[in-house]
Copies of this chain bind each other. A is one copy, B any other.
Amino acid sequence: MKTKAFAAFNEVDDLIPHELTRRVLTAEDVAIDILYCGVCHSDLHTVKGDWGKPSYPVVPGHEIIGRVSAVGADVTSYKVGDLVGVGCMVESCQHCHSCDEGLEQYCENGMIGTYNSTKSKHGGVTYGGYSTAIVVEEKFVLRVPETIDAAAAAPLLCAGITTWSPLRHWNVKAGDKVGIVGLGGLGHMGVKFAKAMGAHVVMITTSIEKGEDAKKLGADEVLVSKDADQMKAHRSSFDFLLNTIPVDHDVNPYLNLLKLDKTMVMVGAIEPLSSVHSGLLIGKRRNIAGSLIGGIKETQEMLDFCGEHQIVSEVEMINMDTINEAYVRMQKSDVKYRFVIDMASLKGE
């Protein structure tokens, strides 16, 4: 079966993904039979060209779960049959300050994304997880605990680590009052992680319904951001805010919720924010920051933590040939909370 399903975005109609993703196995590489791949907003942004003209054909997908099918001669950490994952990166320079610190996502020479990166040392463009197989350097392969549902683990590789990393970096701890702004693929993982870290988790949302959903996921409290009285009652009371809203919005009402010296971290909207009131920063020495996915070391720590605490994403399984429909629904936030492609549906290719 050819993947006409997303051909509209790829400007090709006879793409056989694994012919691209199954590159030659070098001594440092791990070959993976892909079982599942999560569907991230980035996939759609990329194939639509929102972030610049892509290198068509694009094989999206950076929330990859599979089993090792072969290993290169120098691979020591994995063997055939291991359950593994691949996230948003597949290469980095390995010698800059960021790489030395295990922060490959901030590689000073530019990390190589799992798909649509044009500078891979293995031959130019990279191709991602909407495929039945992929070859990735050992350093960028993660071990996935056998104790959690493999399909539901897929979104941990992007949505998971994107929320885990800032919660850890800003040292969220038991008893902290943590606000998760927005409930989608990222936000629902933020709720689960912050709760598992022992925080008092407040879901901050425009929708009472989403608030109820968040409570089922573990949120202790709901703050409806449209309710001025509620917002006033929570003013200057939060130790940390994780803002997962994926588009520009007025961040000022949220800034006003932070205590002295505390931080709101942006992980959703990757665009100019149309207003940040400097007075809200100055008046309480507040911070706004951003955070990008996470390093390989911390991604492994997150997966181990998920194994220990039985944490996975909430997913809706789809077949490969419904991807375009899934994209349309994703844009309407009509998914709780992440689509995952069952790659068995592509096996016939």
A residues with CB within 8 A of B? 97-98, 103, 106, 108, 169, 236, 248, 252, 260, 263, 266-267, 269-292
Query: What residues of B have a CB within 8 angstroms of the CB of A267 in the complex?
Result: 282
Residue of B97, B260, B276, B289 touching A273 (CB-CB under 8 A)? B276
Query: What residues of B have a CB within 8 angstroms of the CB of A280 in the complex?
Result: 290
Query: What residues of B have a CB within 8 angstroms of the CB of A282 in the complex?
Result: 266-267, 270, 290-292
- Quick one: closest B residue to A289, CB to CB? B287
User: Quick check: A277 and B287 within 8 Å, CB to CB?
Assistant: no
User: Quick check: B288 and A281 within 8 Å, CB to CB?
Assistant: yes
Question: For the complex, what is the distance from the CA of A252 to the CA of B274, rounded to whole Å?
Answer: 12
Query: What residues of B have a CB within 8 angstroms of the CB of A279 in the complex?
Result: 270-271, 290
User: Quick check: A270 and B278 within 8 Å, CB to CB?
Assistant: yes
User: Quick check: B269 and A272 within 8 Å, CB to CB?
Assistant: no
- Quick one: closest B residue to A248, CB to CB? B278
User: Quick check: A292 and B283 within 8 Å, CB to CB?
Assistant: yes
Question: For the complex, what is the distance from the CA of A97 to the CA of B239, rounded to whole Å?
Answer: 14
- Quick one: closest B residue to A285, CB to CB? B291
User: Quick check: A290 and B269 within 8 Å, CB to CB?
Assistant: no
- Quick one: closest B residue to A266, CB to CB? B278
Query: What residues of B have a CB within 8 angstroms of the CB of A169 in the complex?
Result: 285
Query: What residues of B have a CB within 8 angstroms of the CB of A277 in the complex?
Result: 271-273
Most buried by B among A108, A269, A280, A289: A289
User: Quick check: A288 and B276 within 8 Å, CB to CB?
Assistant: yes
User: Quick check: B291 and A288 within 8 Å, CB to CB?
Assistant: no
Residue of B272, B281, B291 touching A290 (CB-CB under 8 A)? B281
Question: For the complex, what is the distance from the CA of A205 to the CA of B284, rounded to whole Å?
Answer: 27
Query: What residues of B have a CB within 8 angstroms of the CB of A287 in the complex?
Result: 263, 287-289
Query: What residues of B have a CB within 8 angstroms of the CB of A285 in the complex?
Result: 106, 169, 289-292
User: Quick check: A272 and B278 within 8 Å, CB to CB?
Assistant: yes
Kindly provide the distance from the CB of A88 to the nearest chain B CB, expressed in whole angstroms: 13
Instruction: State whether A278 and B274 are in contact (beta carbons under 8 Å apart), knowing that A106-B260, A284-B106, A285-B290 are contacts in the complex.
Output: no
Query: What residues of B have a CB within 8 angstroms of the CB of A286 in the complex?
Result: 289-290
- Quick one: closest B residue to A288, CB to CB? B288
The 8 A-B residue pairs with the shortest CB-CB distance, nearest first, are A281-B290, A282-B290, A287-B289, A276-B276, A270-B279, A272-B275, A272-B277, A266-B278
Query: What residues of B have a CB within 8 angstroms of the CB of A284 in the complex?
Result: 106, 290
User: Quick check: A260 and B290 within 8 Å, CB to CB?
Assistant: no
Most buried by B among A169, A252, A282: A282
Query: What residues of B have a CB within 8 angstroms of the CB of A270 in the complex?
Result: 278-279, 282
Kindly provide the distance from the CB of A272 to the nearest chain B CB, expressed in whole angstroms: 5
> Could you give 20 example pairs across A and B, Cβ below 8 Å?
A106-B260, A106-B284, A106-B285, A108-B236, A266-B278, A267-B282, A269-B278, A270-B282, A271-B277, A271-B278, A271-B279, A273-B275, A273-B278, A274-B275, A276-B276, A281-B290, A282-B291, A286-B290, A287-B287, A288-B289
